[in-house]
Amino acid sequence: MFHIAVIGGGISGLAVAFRLKRAVGYQVTVLEAEDRPGGKAHTEVIDGFTCEAGTNSWLDKEQAARDLLEEAGISDRIKPASQSAERRFIYRANQLREVKLHPLKFMTSSVLPLGARLRLALEPFVAKQTQTSDETLADFATRRLGKGACDILIGPMASGIYAGDPNEMSLKSCFNKVYQLEQQHGGLIKGMLALKKAKKAAGEDPSAVTAGPSGRITSLEGGVSDLVQALTAEIGTDLKLGARVLGIAPGAQGGFTLHIEGSEPMTADAVVTATPAWSAAEYLKQLDPDAATAFSEIPYPSLDVICLGYHKNQVPHDLHGFGFLVPRGQDKTILGSLWTSSIFPGRAPQDHVLMRTMIGGMLEPQVGEWPPERVIATVREELSAILGIPTGEAPVLTRIFRHPRAIPQYHVGHAHRVARIRAAESRHPGFFATGNALLGVGVIDCIRESVATAHRVSLFLGPAKT
């Protein structure tokens, strides 16, 4: 029977292993360095509050993810967000301002100052970029939408997904669909109109094409850990916890030998890496120095998640919405806050609310050096100012999750780094790379790429031998 070693027991590694075991029947071992699986996907229920350490939710638009939930037997645990989650806010000039998705309502709202709105209206007249260089998100957004929209809308969005710096992020690698809209239709508004027209012609609902995220925000009844548990149930004892891979070498009789901290070496016919890039950079040094270097060039900022629970009476704001993002330059350090108990009712006890605030990232790197008490105090102080919570009102729940290396950054040149990693796959048949450092940081991106990787492994090895 073919044996495959999967390095990393986050969503990516677990999804690859699940697929290879369930669909193909290979012998698979998952090697996970920590003492629990899930990586950045981890839920804790504390005193009736459901707190997510990393992944909060995803959009239900990815077929591969829907299929995986079905195969894992947890489709009935899918929990769509409430309607109120469609309302999103930006904190600007000392006020929360709703981001309206309807173009006319948006243009007459105060989310952007008047000058920025007028500049935004000129977007259809901005010429298409003809040179195909890897443009930064900030350069693209400023060129097409104006500096105001870039700073107030696009920058916070980059924080919300990547905790990133738009001046470094590659548009092509981070938001390829947006890049394609300009390339194929000459601009964003023109592109959206063309997509609406195509939907209408196909007899589909054109209103599904919006400037906001497409698909419904979703989680699972017990949080993202439901998915981790369902995948690990299939993998069973083939998931090895506390098994940190230190190096990989070509095997004496083909395949690979993996060196694992505190254990005997393990042999495998194929290896799938599904760990953060900084870790792959270490254990690939011997097998493929160029891939190791490419992995080492993918930066990770630190990011902290602070879950605060309050009694409803303590919070004057109705928290009717998804939450808010904070552009830089507003005299606040927090990146934004999600109103978890409004998005997913039931995630706080009766008459209580739960908020989840992000602080740190590429643009506030100093936060990673602060002691946890200072991080929590800053979050409480800034939330109080924004939501009108009287100073001195202590939350009934405080939980901080610190991620010293949180989310991989797809900076300019990322596609070239991915190509160098793919070249290593060609140099070492049976070696495969997946995980959020390559082609998408969202959970649904990770699942899509894991399913594709499992397929590539099965094409390489062929049918399972018994």
Ligand X SMILES: Cc1cc2nc3c(=O)[nH]c(=O)nc-3n(C[C@H](O)[C@H](O)[C@H](O)COP(=O)(O)OP(=O)(O)OC[C@H]3O[C@@H](n4cnc5c(N)ncnc54)[C@H](O)[C@@H]3O)c2cc1C
The residue range among 17-25, 269-277, 291-299, 312-320 that interacts with ligand X, by the rule CB under 6 A, is 269-277
Contact set for ligand X, span 16-35 (CB under 6 A): 31-34
Task: Specify the residue, 228 or 461, whose C-beta has the smaller distance to ligand X.
Answer: 228
- For the bound state, the minimum distance from the C-beta of residue 454 to ligand X, rounded and expressed in Å, comes to 14
| In the complex, minimum distance from the CB of residue 255 to ligand X, in angstroms, rounded to a whole number | 18
> How many C-beta atoms surround the C-beta of residue 42 within 10 A?
20
Q: Pick the binder of ligand X from 156, 166, 191, 276 (CB under 6 A).
A: 276
User: At 30, phi and psi to the nearest 5?
Assistant: -100, 125
Q: Six-digit token pair at 194?
A: 């063309």
Region 239-258 residues binding ligand X, contact defined as CB under 6 A: 244-245
Query: Quick one: 178 or 439, whose CB is closer to ligand X?
Result: 439
> Binding ligand X by CB under 6 A: which of 29, 43, 50, 55?
55
Task: Check residue 283 for interaction with ligand X (CB under 6 A).
Answer: yes
CA 89/CA 138 separation, integer angstroms:
21
**Cβ closer to ligand X: 243 or 412?**
243
| 406 lies in the site for ligand X, by CB under 6 A | yes
Q: In this chain, which of 20, 120, 446, 457 binds ligand X, going by CB under 6 A?
A: 446
Closest CA to 136 of 414, 420, 359: 414
**Least gap, CB of 338 to ligand X (angstroms):** 8
Q: Which of 5, 6, 11, 292 binds ligand X (CB under 6 A)?
A: 11
Verify binding: residue 303, ligand X, rule CB under 6 A.
Answer: yes
CA distance 433 to 177: 23
Question: What is the total count of residues that contact ligand X (CB under 6 A)?
Answer: 37
Report which of 86, 10, 134, 139 is spatially closest to residue 322, judged by C-alpha positions: 86
Indicate the residue among 71 and 282 with the shorter CB distance to ligand X. Answer: 282
Of the residues 2, 5, 13, 49, which one makes contact with ligand X according to CB under 6 A: 13
- Residue 71: count other Cβ atoms within 10 Å of its Cβ: 17
Q: Considering only residues 6, 8, 74, 367, which one is a binding residue for ligand X as defined by CB under 6 A?
A: 8
- Span interacting with ligand X, options 48-56, 63-71, 105-113, 135-143, rule CB under 6 A: 48-56
Burial class (CB in 10 A: 0-12, 13-18, 19+), 259: middle
Q: Report the half-sphere exposure of 354 (CA within 13 A, side-chain side).
A: 26
- Interior angle at CA 324, CA 149 and CA 207, nearest 5: 70
Of 51-59, 343-351, 364-372, 458-466, the window that binds ligand X (rule: CB under 6 A) is: 51-59
- Angstrom distance (rounded) from CA 394 to CA 311: 10
Site string for ligand X, 65-94 (x = CB under 6 A): ------------------------------
> And the tokens for 389?
């919570």
Among residues 21, 40, 172, 332, the one that binds ligand X under rule CB under 6 A: 40
Q: Which of 175, 174, 196 is nearest to 185 (CA)?
A: 196
Of 176-184, 207-215, 366-374, 439-447, the segment contacting ligand X by CB under 6 A is 439-447
3-class DSSP assignment, residue 119: helix
SS in 3 state form for 422-451?
Answer: HHHHHHCCCEEECCCCCCCCCHHHHHHHHH
Q: Is residue 156 part of the contact set for ligand X (CB under 6 A)?
A: no
Closest CA to 317 of 386, 378, 380: 386
Of 182 and 234, nearer to ligand X (C-beta) is: 234
| 382 versus 449: smaller Cβ distance to ligand X | 449
Examine residue 111 and tell whether it contacts ligand X (CB under 6 A). Answer: no
User: CA-to-CA distance for 355 and 320, rounded, in angstroms?
Assistant: 12
Closer residue to ligand X, CB minimum distance, 34 or 123: 34
Q: Which residues contact 124 (CB under 8 A, 6 or more apart)?
A: 187, 189, 190
Quote the CA–CA distance of 298 and 412 in Å, as a whole number: 10
Q: Which of 231, 276, 229, 215 is nearest to 58 (CA)?
A: 215
**Contact positions toward ligand X, by CB under 6 A?**
7-13, 31-34, 39-41, 54-58, 244-245, 274-276, 279, 283, 303, 305, 403, 406-407, 435-436, 441-443, 446
